[in-house]
Amino acid sequence: MTPEQASAQSEDICRLAPVIPVLVVKDASTAADLARALVKGGLPALEVTLRTDAALDVIREMSTVEGGVVGAGTLLTPADVQAAKDAGAKFGVSPGATDRIIDACLEADLPLLPGAATASEAMYLLERGFTVQKFFPAEANGGAPALKSLASPLPQIRFCPTGGVSLKNAPDYLSLPNTLCVGGSWVAPGNLVDAGDWSAITALAAEAAALPR
């Protein structure tokens, strides 16, 4: 896979809905129900972060849910990339970008959404061929005004801002010409997941899916 192909596939995934849920799931037994609730609400692209021991099993379970496109977040090493791919991930997300992570994803044919926090990092990724990137951590790096400032000098790049994004500020990002979608965890709060309140999560997903962009 080339970086250009990876970006094209990442863009297709980002255009599926205004929001990609960023999921930290501790119990794989809830994974399929959670994925079904989010997909039912209109959010088919799901990022499962590799921050728990259950994450790979969660990806396996969610990959069985019809209509879902499950990816792996927090890719830090080539081993993470291969493990995510083997578990059924259809895309990868990294908080930043290194040559080792990029090369591992390209070799594994796993579309990567690489993270950039500065203009220099975004330019480096553009030189590598990545025109679709993750802006992270979004709010800590100046939020929507900072991302807007990158649009004029770097019009070739489209972003998925993640980190501190909420229902309240998501429209600020989605209104920008260089934003494809946003990533956020508010659509699957831990208390609702723990309670198995899938209808409430579906309602949150539907609210997010209706955000204009």
127 classed as catalytic: no
State the amino acid at position 1 in one-letter form: M
| Marked catalytic residue, from 26, 40, 47, 207 | 47
Please indicate whether residue 47 is annotated as part of the active site: yes
* Tokens representing residue 144 in the block: 């929507």
Token duo for residue 2: 């080339």
Strand 91-93 and strand 115-116: pairing? unpaired
Q: Cα–Cα distance between 152 and 156 in angstroms, integer? A: 9
Locus of tokens 């494809």: 180
Give first-to-last CA distance, the chain, whole Å. 29
Give the integer Cα–Cα distance in Å for 63 and 56: 11
Q: Which residue is catalytic, options 40, 85, 90, 134? A: 134
Give me the active site residues, please: 47, 134
